[in-house]
């Protein structure tokens, strides 16, 4: 609070000094060299205030609006100087600079209202839609002012140089009052919602100085004077209203500024120093840069515009975390190795168990053939006699195991595998004196379970009729509805083959024609 009071009193002192200087310069009005010095100094002060705001305000949109206000107020004094000083002998130029003089009175209230709406908003947040309408209205009013020679609604100028205001001047006064009070209402509302709500009266008091001067001007019916010497001009009072308002807002913190670095560095815990180009410390925190007390205190620096910045970083906490992370990483690596070994053992055990289950399934599937082979070869005297038949059974065991191994890898296998199995079984039948023929068109993929069941059915048929048939013709079909087409001269026992079709999608059809029998096996087909 003392800092805010100090800034406010400084502004009041500057305003009093400005008014005193304006009065003093008015005393020198009779000297042509000092006649318009007041206007020049006033415009320069408005421009200087704008440059001060440019280096203080953080919000880009608020900064642009306040710069626009500064330039508009500067143009107010420049237009007056051009009217009375530089183009005083040109009637047309004087008139147009006179009209131009009223445009800042239209623009400044609008930009003040825009600035008030930007308080407390994000940088890229859009303004309300009615602001765009007000901008168009301000543009049309400015153009209307410059066309006063056509309509004479702003100023009615007599031939002798006297003038009076028209109805457009009243509209300009209403425009300024409505937008000015609207801006004050928005600012007071935003101030009420911020931390600086207890200091709302400061911008009101600072802008009130200019408002009192403007009220004095209106009550006096013109520029107030003391013993014939002008005290101030209307444009000076108008400028002080808006400059005092926004300067007060920046003092109380309603506008975000980049001031207070010294206090920020003093209270911060970042252990930093700001140095100028000569190396002298301008801002420093209270923390120490002593590395002797902390071996993990790192000093870093970076050049900045106009000097450099130095700060320290305490990396002891990071060091502790790194040590803990290294310890945890070692533990995780050890656990990962144990997990990998356990997974490898589990995978190997699973592979063995899967293989054992598969081998058990193969042994169970061919149990009857293996038992018959073992029984046949037990008697050495008859073993040679039954060797071809045992070879047929052994071929079936080998080829069936191969088919089951293939089915374990893929649910679909080509019919070529059935072809190879049947061919090898038929070669064994040749040893038994049977005439066998095998035909196969182009191969196709088929369900592995159906291939195995078809080969089981073929083997059962051969074992059943091996003693009775002489000629056998086998066709591996390319039709999706048919897998196996067998023609032989011995009648099969369909009832004995029925158990091989249980829980199967295969269908078996036996037909007889001229003493020859046709056995068809396939997926759900019915053969007449």
Mean pLDDT of 238-266: 73
Please give the structure tokens belonging to residue 323: 């040590």
Q: Determine the pLDDT at residue 525.
A: 40
Rounded alpha-carbon distances, angstroms, from residue 241 to 213, 235, 254, 341, 454: 9, 10, 17, 83, 105
The span from the CA of 350 to the CA of 365, in Å, is: 22
Q: Determine the pLDDT at residue 523.
A: 65
Q: Is residue 492 within 8 Å of residue 464, measured between CB atoms?
A: yes
Q: Determine the pLDDT at residue 290.
A: 55
Q: Is residue 231 within 8 Å of residue 225, measured between CB atoms?
A: yes
pLDDT in tens, 43-59: 778 888 888 877 777 77
Between 446 and 259, name the one with better pLDDT.
Answer: 446
CA 258 to chain centre: 30
Between 17 and 210, name the one with better pLDDT.
Answer: 210
The span from the CA of 415 to the CA of 427, in Å, is: 19
Residues 6+ apart with CB under 8 A from 89: none
Query: Would you say residue 503 has pLDDT above 80?
Result: no
Q: At what angle do helices 448-465 and 415-431 cross, to 10 degrees?
A: 10
Please give the structure tokens belonging to residue 479: 């039709």
The span from the CA of 357 to the CA of 112, in Å, is: 89
The span from the CA of 180 to the CA of 27, in Å, is: 33
Q: Is residue 495 within 8 Å of residue 511, measured between CB atoms?
A: no
Q: Determine the pLDDT at residue 258.
A: 66
pLDDT in tens, 97-129: 778 888 888 888 888 888 888 887 777 778 888
| Confidence grade of residue 515 (pLDDT, cut at 50, 70, 90) | confident
Mean pLDDT of 382-390: 75
Query: Would you say residue 162 has pLDDT above 70?
Result: no
Q: Determine the pLDDT at residue 148.
A: 82
**DSSP H or E run through 153:** none
Query: Would you say residue 292 has pLDDT above 60?
Result: no
Q: Determine the pLDDT at residue 293.
A: 54
What share of the chain in percent tops pLDDT 90? 1
Tell how strand 225-226 and strand 229-230 pair up: antiparallel
Burial of 367 per CB tally in 10 Å (0-12, 13-18, 19+): exposed
Q: Would you state the CATH architecture of domain 367-523? A: 2-Layer Sandwich (3.30)
Least confident span in 28-37, 138-147, 194-203, 342-351? 28-37
**pLDDT averaged over every residue in the chain:** 78
pLDDT in tens, 431-462: 888 888 888 777 888 888 888 888 888 888 88
Phi and psi at residue 312, in whole multiples of 5°? -115, 150
Query: Would you say residue 235 has pLDDT above 80?
Result: no
Q: Determine the pLDDT at residue 289.
A: 56
Q: Determine the pLDDT at residue 193.
A: 57
DSSP string, 380-398: HHHHTTTHHHHHHHHHHHH
Between 22 and 184, name the one with better pLDDT.
Answer: 184
The span from the CA of 174 to the CA of 186, in Å, is: 18
Tell how strand 471-476 and strand 435-439 pair up: parallel
pTM over 0.75: no
Please give the structure tokens belonging to residue 488: 């032989």
Least confident span in 14-28, 145-159, 400-414? 14-28
Least confident span in 136-150, 186-200, 318-332? 186-200
Least confident span in 92-106, 147-161, 205-219, 349-363? 147-161
Q: Determine the pLDDT at residue 328.
A: 92
**DSSP H or E run through 226:** strand 225-226
| Confidence grade of residue 528 (pLDDT, cut at 50, 70, 90) | very low
Residue spans in the chain of domains classed CATH 3.30.565.10 = 367-523
Q: Determine the pLDDT at residue 352.
A: 84
The span from the CA of 500 to the CA of 448, in Å, is: 16
Q: Determine the pLDDT at residue 286.
A: 67
Mean pLDDT of 343-350: 86
Least confident span in 144-148, 162-166, 181-185, 276-280? 162-166
Least confident span in 185-194, 242-251, 475-484? 185-194
Least confident span in 18-22, 39-43, 322-326? 18-22
Give the SS3 label for residue 154: coil
């Amino acid at each position: 609070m003392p800092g805010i009071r100090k800034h406010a009193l400084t502004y009041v002192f500057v305003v009093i000094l400005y008014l005193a200087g304006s009065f003093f310069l008015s005393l020198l009005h009779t000297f042509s060299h000092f006649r318009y010095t007041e206007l020049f100094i006033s415009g320069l002060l408005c421009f200087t205030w704008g440059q001060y705001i440019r280096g203080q305000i953080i919000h880009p949109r608020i900064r642009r609006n306040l710069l626009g206000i500064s330039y508009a107020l500067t143009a107010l004094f420049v237009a007056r100087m051009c009217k009375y000083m530089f183009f005083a002998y040109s009637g047309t130029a004087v008139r147009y600079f006179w009209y131009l003089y009223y445009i800042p009175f239209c623009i400044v209230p609008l930009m003040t209202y825009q600035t008030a709406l930007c308080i407390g908003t994000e940088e890229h947040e859009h303004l309300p839609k009615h602001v765009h309408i007000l901008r168009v209205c301000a543009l049309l009013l400015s153009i209307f002012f410059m066309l006063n020679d056509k309509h004479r609604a702003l100023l009615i100028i007599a031939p002798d140089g006297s003038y009076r205001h028209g109805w457009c001047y009243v509209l300009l006064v209403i425009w300024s009052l409505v937008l000015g009070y609207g801006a004050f209402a928005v600012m007071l509302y935003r101030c009420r919602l911020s931390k600086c709500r207890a200091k709302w009266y400061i911008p009101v008091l600072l802008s009130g100085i200019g408002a009192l001067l403007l009220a004095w001007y209106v009550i006096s019916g013109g520029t107030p004077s003391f013993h014939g010497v002008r005290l101030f001009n209307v444009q000076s009072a108008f400028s002080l209203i808006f400059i005092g308002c926004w300067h007060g807002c920046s003092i109380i913190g309603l506008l975000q500024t980049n001031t207070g670095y010294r206090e920020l560095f003093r209270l911060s815990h970042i252990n930093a120093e700001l140095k100028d180009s000569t190396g002298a410390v301008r801002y420093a925190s209270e923390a120490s840069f002593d590395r002797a007390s902390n071996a993990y205190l790192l000093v870093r620096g970076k050049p900045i515009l106009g000097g450099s910045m130095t700060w320290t970083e305490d990396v002891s906490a990071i060091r502790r975390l790194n040590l803990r992370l290294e310890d945890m990483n070692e533990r995780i690596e050890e656990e990962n190795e144990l997990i990998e070994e356990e997974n490898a053992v589990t995978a190997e055990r699973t592979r063995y168990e899967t293989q054992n289950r598969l081998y058990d399934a193969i042994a169970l599937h061919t149990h009857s053939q293996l038992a018959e082979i073992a029984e046949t070869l037990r008697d050495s005297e008859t073993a040679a006699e039954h060797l071809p038949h045992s070879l047929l059974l052994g071929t079936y065991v080998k080829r069936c195991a191969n088919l089951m191994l293939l089915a374990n890898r893929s649910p679909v296998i080509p019919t070529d595998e059935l072809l190879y199995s049947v061919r090898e079984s038929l070669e064994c039948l040749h040893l038994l004196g049977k005439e066998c023929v095998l035909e196969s068109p182009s191969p196709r993929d088929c369900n592995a379970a159906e291939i195995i069941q078809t080969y089981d059915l073929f083997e059962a048929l051969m074992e059943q009729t091996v003693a009775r048939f002489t000629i056998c013709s086998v066709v591996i079909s390319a039709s999706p509805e048919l897998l196996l087409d067998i023609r032989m001269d011995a009648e099969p026992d369909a009832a004995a083959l029925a158990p091989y079709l249980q829980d199967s999608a295969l269908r078996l059809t036996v037909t007889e024609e001229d003493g020859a029998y046709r056995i068809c096996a396939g997926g759900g087909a019915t053969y007449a």
